[in-house]
Structure 1
Amino acid sequence: MADLDRVLVLAGGLSPEHEVSVRSGRRVAESLRRLDIEVQTADVDSALLGRLSSDPPQAVFPVLHGAPGEDGVVREVLEVSGVPYVGARPDACRRAYAKPVAKALVEARGVAVPRGVALPKAAFRDLGARELVDRIAAALGLPLFVKPDQGGSAFGAATVDSADALSSALVNCFAYGDTALVEERIAGTEVAVSVVDTGDGPTALPPVEIVPDGGVYDYAARYTAGRTEFFAPARLEGAVAEAAKEAALTAHSALGLRDLSRTDMIVEDSGRVVFLEANVAPGMMETSLFPMAVEAAGMDFAIVCRELAHRAALRG
């Protein structure tokens, strides 16, 4: 195996998830350095292209959340620069980042998804917001869950129990994107299943169960210490846990993802697994779901990062 000597970790970006990305990137960089790998870190700015040309790394490890880190833009830049990188290719990123598209592709492979509609802000302006809100609530029933059709970290997301609350949630949602995804709220156990491929094919790691103290896994619940309890592995019966892992592998395949991913889902009391969304650049902080799953699988996070980077370097 050729030595892996130099890796560039990309973190930061201009999305609302900047700080989360910085902290995730720091964790990946420190983990690789612990294995005596030379690691540089950089943000996505005007100096990046020059750096890739003048001092190309063996591999780039993107840890960028939100656009343009997960929508394929940065991956396109790395492709045209001829620099190998960890993670999904641009087309796969676009499929996963557009939540309605991801839902359709995963549902076509036999995985259940919530009923919902995706509508742009202009539709509410042109067709009459009050009437449209009432029709959505009547068609899907209550409670509902509202979120931007793109993005992560639960920015602009909210649960709603009435048509009036739906109107307010949509206003908040449109502050983070031009299209809102309104779905039936699925009751059950919220879990995340990470998938990793270090050369032997995609492997689903143990599901991680998420129990926010307020019942909703919003931004505060994700990043405020003590607001959420995690169980890794999740408290699921064996057959149900395997079904969750199989759903994550199906999503990884259906979206054409590569190297690593994280699929968020709800497991109903009946054991049915319902796909919510897939993430091509999962968080890498100590309290993030992907590292929790790695630890639950008995794997060393630093070694997983090294193997992912080495796999990318070999593609170069």
Structure 2
Amino acid sequence: MSYKQKLVGMLMGGHNSEHEVSMRTGAALAAALRRRGYRVEEIVVDENVAGKLVESGVEVAFVALHGRWGEDGCVQGLLECMRIPYTGSGVLASALSMDKVFSKKLFRQAGLPVAPDVVVSGDAGRDLEPSKLPFDLPVVVKPSREGSSVGVSIVRKAADLAAALEQAAGLAGDVLVEQYVPGREISVAVLDGRALGAIEIKPAREFYDYTAKYHSQGTTDYLFPAPLEEGERERAHELAQEAYRCLGCSGVARVDLILGTDGRFVVLEVNTIPGMTEASLVPKIAAGVGIGFDELAERILEGAALKA
């Protein structure tokens, strides 16, 4: 069944640190779908989103939200209750992917390679000494439930650990402290369970943080296809597909990896609603394999469904 004759609700915005990114994603996708002949209603998500969905008469939802209360299963649960088909992963897969602590536990249980880590809860981080960590500095400090690298920092000096933990804890209660894995940043786009391709990110900054992603103004290099040996490329695709399946994802996702200096991959995370402007990673990969931005948007929409 095609959604060509249905009213599409583009859910965008939201109440979190990724509001700006979501607005860009939603606007780009809405324009693409209109060029393909769809009727699209842009809905800026707030506490009255249920009322807006009812008033607009939306028949299918394209979820273009990033971060908490949008990418974490909350809106997906609302759409299930309202029986409105929607794009992307379902409630559980969205919640698991958003929570770095739980997703890493599942990756580890599935035998996927991940970086050693410890989880610090709430105020406990104030008393954490680097000497008490089971691995040496540098470490990567991450809020457990944020996206777009918001609140992520690399700590190389013992004196900087407390501030990094406090910053991350202020965004999400639990904080993930990972052993830093030096290497190359690789992202793989997965659509309907199949890896489309891998891209290498070479930011001018220390790592691919929020500023590098959205305010780099050409200072980040993107290499597609990623310059990998054939065996490395196959392994990257395999790991991305396994991580996608492990969390029960649907539709489009981006899987972030590190190819360590020792030649081994580490799975970082799965992003179930990756940035989708024409300058974003997934559209870059899709374009590289012959799928234009408008076609990509349509393919994602046509995969919309109820998952529960």
Instruction: Tell me, yes or no, whether TM beats 0.5.
Output: yes
Work out whether residues 194 and 261 of structure 1, in 8 Å CA contact, stay in contact via their aligned partners in 2: yes
Deviations 1:68-113 (A, max 9, x none): 0111110000000010000111111111111011111122222100
Note if 1:75 corresponds to 2:80.
Answer: no
2:276 matched residue in structure 1: 284
Q: Tell me, in whole angstroms, the C-alpha distance in 2 between the residues paired with 1:240 and 1:170.
A: 34
Residue 130 of structure 2 corresponds to 134
Aligned AA (1:235)? P
SS in 1 for 2:129: helix
The DSSP-based 3-state class of the residue aligned with 1:278 is strand
Equivalent residue letter for 1:12: G
**5+ long unaligned stretches in structure 1:** none
8 A Cα contact 2:283 2:296, kept in partner: no
Structure 1 counterpart of 2:222, from 221, 227, 230: 230
Q: Deviations over 1:183-215 (max 9, x none)?
A: 011111101111112xxxx21011111111122
Q: How does 1:113-262 map to 2 (within 5 A)?
A: 113-124=114-125, 129=127, 132-137=128-133, 139-197=134-192, 202-224=193-215, 225-262=217-254
- Specify the code of the residue in structure 2 equivalent to 1:300: G
CA distance in 1, matches of 2:132, 2:146: 22
Distance (Å, rounded) in 1 between the aligned partners of 2:230 and 2:123: 46
**Segment drifting more, 97-106 vs 2-11:** 2-11
CA distance in 2, matches of 1:277, 1:72: 16
Residue 123 of structure 1 and its aligned partner are, at CA, apart by: 1.8
Native 8 Å contact 1:193 1:248 kept in 2: yes
SS of 1:124 mapped into structure 2: helix
TM-aligned CA distance change 1:315 to 1:175, over 3 Å:
closer
Q: Percent identity?
A: 36
Give me the CA root mean square deviation: 1.8
Which range moved further: 298-307 or 71-80? 298-307
Q: What amino acid sits opposite 1:82 in the alignment?
A: R
Query: For residues 156-189 of structure 1, what are the alpha-carbon distances to aligned partners after superposition, in whole Å with 9 as ceiling and x for unaligned?
Result: 1111112112122112222322221100111111
Q: Which residue of 2 aligns with 1:14?
A: 15
CA change 1:306–1:271 in 2 (3 A) is same
Distance in 2, matches of 1:44 and 1:214, equals: 32
Aligned residue type for 1:4: K
Which residue in the other structure is 1:264 paired with?
256
| Unmatched runs of 5 consecutive residues or more in structure 2 | none
Runs of 4+ off more than 3 Å: 313-316
Secondary structure of the residue that 1:151 maps to in structure 2? Answer: coil
Question: What is the distance in 2 between the residues matched to 1:303 and 1:150?
Answer: 31
Q: CA deviation at 1:314?
A: 8.8
- Count of residues paired in the alignment: 306
Query: How many Å apart are 1:296 and its aligned residue?
Result: 1.4
Normalising by structure 1, we get a TM-score of: 0.92
Task: Name which of structure 1's ranges 214-223 and 53-62 shifts more when overlaid on structure 2.
Answer: 53-62
Measure the CA separation in 2 of the matches of 1:245 and 1:136: 36
CA distance in 2, matches of 1:27, 1:103: 31
